[in-house]
Chain A
């Protein structure tokens, strides 16, 4: 039996690859694993709470869609990290401006 985390991943992958919103039944059918619809509904509810999927309430049964594509989420996630990376080139340039002749030779040897 797959863990909830793994199920969340497979459900998300399914929704990312799907052209249109899916109902819990459809998700259940398309997943390889032999799962109860209630389990899929639990997973979908968790993903909705995490802000990863949107539920369309206008239709019955409710249909679920990914909030953003996989790539958009990756970019959002890495921006949180990259936003804090300093201008590395500026630091390196300033450093290289201050190194001695022997250190510069060592740098060239290492990086060259």
Chain B
């Protein structure tokens, strides 16, 4: 048990500091954004699991040789208030402290995730009400996707995910319609609809929540930025399926497209208390422009296999150890 705790702690530290530092600038992310996305999601889950698991396992170690056994023993002792056997079991204050730390950390992460999720939902619902009252549907849209126009001169586009794809909406400003040509506009709409179709807001909400829970941890800061950048690259790829990189680049240069869904905004106005630094929200990044200007080959089969299998291993190893120990 102590060995397992040590291993999990080491894994947590590695996943929290050096790995995200290396990964958030790794050049393969521009070549195969999906592979990088899978890896980041695995890191976030495995990192969280080992960070919470390590102190709990350490704290439970004196209670038994395996996790279920130790857990049962600890619960039993707490229920019967049998404090004398604590001494016999060689339970020291640091074990109790580690247990509390693990439980508090786990609770903090889960509660922040729930809180972030419901706040985003609420902010989105309120924003949607305003869109419904203030916008007019874009005429002659080919498909049945909901595209709305808002009367404002700033050229911008964003998407607002709903419960289903049918209840999601893409919002374009009048300024954007006036600035962009028809094909450029098509590229913007295709970009936004890729965000909606691939449900990118679900891929980013965990990272947003972890960042809110522990903003000082490098993995959370880098992870949040990296995942946002990856969703933009994936949405670009969606647009590139129908439009040329030149068209997309021109529309990028002439407008701000933004996915309101991806962070707490809409709703940032309500949340002065948890201000997210604006500088970290670099959605148009150098790497994103680079891959539009000079497209590169996606990762080879072997490299792809390596990335996916290390993601799977990241998830399987801590979970398996916890279950089998």
Contacts and interface: CB of A to CB of B under 8 A. Distances in A.
B133 A86 contact: no
Given A106-B294, A110-B249, A77 B284 contact: no
A73 B293 contact: no
Interface size class of B (residues with CB under 8 A): 35 or more
Contacts of B253: 92, 111
A84 B150 CA distance: 18
Contacts, number: 105
Interface stretch (B63-71, B193-201, B264-272): B264-272
Interface in B252-277: 253, 256, 258, 260, 263, 265-269, 276
B4 interface: no
Interface residues of A, number: 34
A85 B279 CA distance: 9
Given A77-B134, A80-B260, A107 B266 contact: no
A73 B268 contact: no
Contact of A98 (B250, B282, B286): B286
B284 A88 contact: yes
Contacts of B212: none
B156 A92 contact: no
Contact of A85 (B152, B249, B276, B283): B283
A79 to B, nearest CB: 6
A91 to B, nearest CB: 5
Contacts of A86: 278-279, 281-284
Contact of B281 (A73, A84, A106, A110): A84
Interface string B136-148: 0000000000000
Leading 8 A-B pairs by shortest Cβ distance: A80-B266, A95-B286, A84-B265, A77-B130, A110-B246, A81-B260, A86-B281, A85-B256
